[in-house]
């Protein structure tokens, strides 16, 4: 059986020398990037649910998907895992500079778990060249939807007394769709632009 052709990710294109130090620095950089994006929060003042606003709207998902695309399936997933572990052991990397396992015990625990398969999926597609055009939007939509699967299941258990699925979707899905779509479009524009920049730099070196 013929294997699908593999393409270099943007991180490999800009830093082609494969070393453990390079991989470690990329992972650390990704953890910092995701942590900073998690602090970018905003509210929709016109939305109020019966549960209040248990799940913050942040730039975290954007950073997770970008990390997966930039680093590829394995290294991107490793970077997201490192981010989650850093928060569990005490680094203030979650939304509102929160830390420790309490983030997993709260309303957002399922979404945090969903970050891992999401990063792997977009990384897998990036390694097959999808990050070079706007078609990247499709795997990003799939990955974003996958984040919601454990997220909503977890949130429903956390709310306990709320009605499923109406109240759970109201608290953990509908308010996020406009922002998520905007973040996905932004990522699908920025990442192919990175390849354009790379080609221009390589052309200038030639």
pLDDT band for position 54 (50/70/90)? low
Whole-number pLDDT of residue 182: 87
Between the two ends of the chain, the Cα-to-Cα distance in Å is 38
Asked whether residue 46 carries a pLDDT value surpassing 60, the answer given is no
Render the burial of 183-199: b for 16+ CB within 10 Å, e for the rest: bbeebbeebbebeeeee
Q: Model confidence over 68-114: pLDDT tens digits? A: 999 999 999 999 999 999 999 989 998 888 877 777 777 788 999 99
- Structure tokens given for 44: 């929709």
Domains of the chain as residue ranges with CATH: 10-41+54-205 (1.10.1760.20)
Determine whether 141 is exposed, middle or buried from the number of CB atoms within 10 Å of its CB (0-12, 13-18, 19+): middle
Contact 38, 60 (CB under 8 A): yes
Greater confidence (161 vs 49) lies with 161
Asked whether residue 206 carries a pLDDT value surpassing 50, the answer given is no
Mean pLDDT for the chain?
A: 85
Helices and strands in the chain, H and E counts: 9, 2
Whole-number pLDDT of residue 129: 93
Span 24-44, mean pLDDT? 90
pLDDT band for position 32 (50/70/90)? very high
């Amino acid at each position: 059986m013929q294997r699908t052709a593999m393409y270099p990710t943007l991180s490999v294109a800009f830093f082609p020398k494969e070393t453990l130090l390079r991989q470690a620095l990329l992972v650390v950089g990704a953890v910092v990037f995701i942590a900073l994006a998690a602090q970018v929060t905003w509210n929709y003042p016109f939305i109020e649910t019966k549960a209040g606003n248990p799940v913050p709207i942040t730039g975290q998902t954007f950073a997770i998907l970008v990390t997966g695309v930039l680093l590829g399936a394995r290294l991107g997933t490793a970077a997201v895992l490192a981010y989650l572990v850093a928060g569990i052991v005490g680094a203030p990397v979650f939304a509102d500079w929160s830390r420790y396992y309490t983030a997993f015990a709260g309303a957002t625990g399922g979404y945090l778990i969903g970050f891992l398969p999401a990063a792997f999926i977009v990384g897998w597609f990036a390694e097959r060249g999808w990050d070079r055009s706007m078609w990247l939007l499709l795997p990003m939509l799939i990955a974003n939807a996958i984040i919601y699967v454990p997220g909503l299941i977890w949130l429903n258990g956390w709310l306990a007394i709320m009605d499923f699925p109406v109240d759970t979707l109201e608290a953990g899905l509908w308010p996020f769709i406009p922002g998520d779509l905007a973040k996905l479009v932004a990522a699908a524009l920025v990442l192919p632009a990175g390849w354009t920049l790379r080609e221009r730099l390589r052309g200038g070196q030639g």
